[in-house]
Amino acid sequence: MAIYYSQSGQLTEIIDNLTAPLIESGDSVEKVRVRPKTDYPFPWTGTRFFAVMPDCVLGVPGELEPFQLKENKYDLIILGYQAWFLSPSIPSNSILSHPAFRDIVKNTPVVTITGARNMWISAMERVKKSLHESNAKLVGNIALVDNHANPISFVTIFHWMFSGKKDRYLNIFPKPGVADDDIDHTKVFGSILEQYLHKGEWDGMQAALVEQKAVRIKYNLMFIESKARRIFALWARFIVKRKKRTAWLVVFKYYLLIALFIAAPIILTVDAIFFKPFLSGRIKRQKQYYLGVN
């Protein structure tokens, strides 16, 4: 079974490509696209987008429309999720906390897959924790991202989110989101899943996925995310206590712009000169950890 939420349709396309080899080999694949009771608009409005930040970062789930699961037990569950504000999206949190999902996922192999702008590590760590609490067996992880430079993907993703157009902004910037070739390449990961599913064992599968570039770790993004996730949590806890939440969300929006275009380059430069050269062993261990599923 593949269960997921997709707002723009990108994750649906990813799931379809991932499961295609399984279907072609004769496996029965059930796809469940969940829907929130109060759905999120696409394209977003700026106000609506930033309004979800506190609940998203604090892990507050929303109510889902009722959904049916055809079976009582599955050989493999594919969980598709997306990261909002370095956290699992509210619909993803809603799946993870839903009684039907928590029940069906017990003692069951799970593969997670995301289509992200570029920062997914913090969200995945929280997904891992939730799956562990549900006694699931996490056996694989796939992270598809926009591979363009961080400032460029920031511009293009906001163009897509607020216009609904997945095209080249101003005819200058690249197309936003996960590249079409990378989405198509997801079929290779599906073939790996199919091989291990038929073997009935999962040892070595994540290494095989990583060999095919299912997960790639860039140090600069890993470093920025490790700092930003703590700051986002502070912002979220601060804003939920304010009566005039909208005004503070506007302040947070401008903080994001300053952090990305001014603070981050300075911090990365300082780190590259004074810290990174002396932490190669630690950095290698961090990368290996995030490449895996332990």
Q: What is the pLDDT of residues 168-182, one digit of tens each?
A: 999 999 999 999 999
Residues 84, 159, 217: CA angle, nearest 5 degrees:
50
Alpha helices per DSSP H over the chain: 10-24, 46-51, 53-57, 90-97, 99-104, 121-133, 150-163, 180-199, 205-211, 219-239, 245-258, 264-274, 280-291
Alpha-carbon gap, residue 154 to 118, rounded angstroms: 9
pLDDT at 174: 96
Q: What is the pLDDT of residues 223-273, one digit of tens each?
A: 999 999 999 999 999 999 998 899 999 999 999 999 999 999 999 999 999
Alpha-carbon gap, residue 131 to 127, rounded angstroms: 6
DSSP conformation class of 276: G
> How high does pLDDT run on average in the chain?
96
pLDDT bucket at 284, cuts 50 / 70 / 90:
very high
Altogether, the residues listed in the chain come to a count of 294
Q: What is the pLDDT of residues 14-51, one digit of tens each?
A: 999 999 999 999 999 999 999 999 999 899 999 999 99
Alpha-carbon gap, residue 283 to 290, rounded angstroms: 11
Q: First-to-last CA distance in the chain? A: 22
- Would you tell me how many other CB atoms lie within 10 Å of the CB of residue 78? 24
Q: Which of 216, 227, 217, 218 is nearest to 266 (CA)?
A: 227
pLDDT bucket at 294, cuts 50 / 70 / 90:
confident
- Would you tell me how many other CB atoms lie within 10 Å of the CB of residue 152? 15
DSSP conformation class of 110: E
Alpha-carbon gap, residue 113 to 193, rounded angstroms: 12
What are the structure tokens assigned to 44, written together?
A: 């977003």
Percentage, residues of the chain above pLDDT 70? 100
CB 44 within 8 A of CB 160: no
pLDDT at 97: 97
Q: Which residue has the tokens 């080999």?
A: 25
pLDDT at 230: 96
What are the structure tokens assigned to 41, written together?
A: 């608009």
pLDDT bucket at 66, cuts 50 / 70 / 90:
very high
Alpha-carbon gap, residue 121 to 125, rounded angstroms: 6
**Which residues are bridge partners to 113 per DSSP?**
80, 142
Phi, psi of 263 (to 5 degrees): -70, -45
pLDDT surpasses 90 at 147:
yes
pLDDT surpasses 90 at 211:
yes
What are the structure tokens assigned to 176, written together?
A: 């936003």
Q: How far is CA 253 from CA 120, 128, 249, in A?
A: 20, 28, 6
Residues 258, 260, 261: CA angle, nearest 5 degrees:
70
Alpha-carbon gap, residue 159 to 255, rounded angstroms: 19
Average pLDDT in the 120-128 region? 98
